[in-house]
Amino acid sequence: MRLALTSDNIAGACEAVVAEMIKAAQGEAMPYGGDPLTEQVTKMFAELFECDVAVFLVSTGTAANVLSLAALTPPWGSVLCHPESHIVNDECSAPEFYTNGARLVGVAGEEAKISVSALEQAINKRMGDVHSVQPSAVSLSQVTEIGSVYSLAELQEISQLAHSKGLKVHMDGARFANALVSLGCTPAQMTWQSGIDIVSFGATKNGAMAAEAIVVFDKNLAQKLALLRKRGGHLHSKMRLLSAQMLGYLSDDVWLNNARHANAMMALLQKGMASIAGVEIIAPAQANMLFCRLPVGMAEALLAQGFSFYTGRWEEGVVRFVTSFQTQQADVEDFIACARDLSTSHTKTS
């Protein structure tokens, strides 16, 4: 099989994660998170974020997002988010289901980031009007769905506005590590120090098998989340196997090194693709995801050669490439060489 750039989900689990799972699978431990590994992982998160946190492990990013939102909004509330966001487009109305009907309200902005002025308008629009849903939370994706990354200043501006109006802020961090190494800041700086109240801390895309953490900075939300997780069917009885994944993932900088590798592979891919005639970079990749428009026929030809990536989901000719911790440099170089050959042969015959 040739290079697959379909998603970072197509990668397996990294060795450190699998090794910890195998260890944890031996013997017995108390269920539902009452085990020593889960306690250890909670402490690791507190160290990582440099503050006291409540941690709720779940096995999908959708569960992490929707349980977080359910903790932040009443059924008559609304969650303000970018129209491109995963919670709007890719969660099959699970946010509405888990919040008992709260509404997702799109707030547009360049590069799939929420614009502060549009957010202010959306918040003010019908606040206090009994006939309308009441803005209760902002949810932003870091990395965004187009591959851009909010700067710390942008996060702070959004959070300050949200808090000043009484709204909480959720971060969909399905690609948390990729954003973090891209910004070169600490987890604390990218979250609570920038006003984030709750984060879906993704690990699955970057090396875990199936483990995500809801990390709660506002401890008043902890009890509610514990009950929401159980009621929603996401309190795993063998929690230690999720905790083991997190232990392997967070130990020895595995998560950071995996993300650095994925981002470096994307930088290489982006540089190569940008140098090919006819290829247009739609949104520069700041982490491990790139959108570009390929010359007519190139996507089909690459797919026919055995490469894989998503196409046909966006405007004509637009494709998405995603690298992962498993992406190999030689495979990226092979992909770029093939794309270059196709562009040259296309130019010669046309």
Ligand X SMILES: Cc1ncc(COP(=O)(O)O)c(C=O)c1O
- Supply the minimum distance, in Å, between the C-beta of residue 141 and ligand X: 5
Q: Which is nearer to ligand X, 225 or 336 (CB)?
A: 225
Shortest reach from residue 221's CB to ligand X, in Å:
20
CA–CA dist 263, 268 (Å, integer):
9
Question: Which of 68, 320, 4, 99 is closest to 202 using CA atoms?
Answer: 68
* Total residues binding ligand X (CB under 6 A): 10
Query: Which residues ranging from 112 to 151 are in contact with ligand X (CB under 6 A)?
Result: 141, 145
Q: For residue 128, give the amino acid letter.
A: G
Cβ–Cβ < 8 Å for 192, 51: yes
CB of 191 to ligand X, least distance (A): 16
For position 195 contacting ligand X by CB under 6 A, the verdict is: no
Give the Cα separation of 8 and 148 in Å (integer).
Answer: 16
207 part of the interface to ligand X, by CB under 6 A? no
Please tell me whether residue 174 binds ligand X under the rule CB under 6 A. yes
User: Shortest gap between Cβ of 173 and ligand X (angstroms)?
Assistant: 8
Q: How far is the CB of 145 from ligand X (least distance, A)?
A: 6
Interface with ligand X, residue 323, by CB under 6 A: no
Pairing of strands 289-293, 280-283: antiparallel
Query: Is 66 or 338 the residue whose CB approaches ligand X more closely?
Result: 66
Nearer to ligand X, 76 or 310 (CB): 310
Pattern 83-102, binding to ligand X, x per CB under 6 A? ---x----------------
From the list 187, 191, 206, the residue with the least C-alpha distance to 255 is 206
Whether the bond between 199 and the residue before it is cis, its omega within 30 degrees of 0, is no
Does the footprint of ligand X cover residue 172 (CB under 6 A)?
A: yes
Spatial neighbors of 88 by CB under 8 A, at least 6 apart, are: 81, 82, 104, 106
Q: Decide whether 74 or 83 has the Cβ nearer to ligand X.
A: 83
For residues 44 to 83, the per-residue mask of contacts with ligand X, x marking binding by CB under 6 A and - elsewhere, is: ----------------xxx--x------------------
The contacts of residue 117 (CB under 8 Å, 6+ apart) are: none
What Å distances lie between residue 103 and 33, 34, 61, 88, CA to CA?
32, 35, 19, 10
How far apart are CB 44 and ligand X at their closest, in Å? 21
CB of 304 to ligand X, least distance (A): 26
Ordered DSSP codes for 129-185: -TTS-EEEEEEEESS-TTS----HHHHHHHHHHHHHTT-EEEEEETTHHHHHHHHT-
User: Does residue 99 sit in helix, strand or coil?
Assistant: coil
List contacts with ligand X (CB under 6 A).
Answer: 60-62, 65, 86, 141, 145, 172, 174, 204
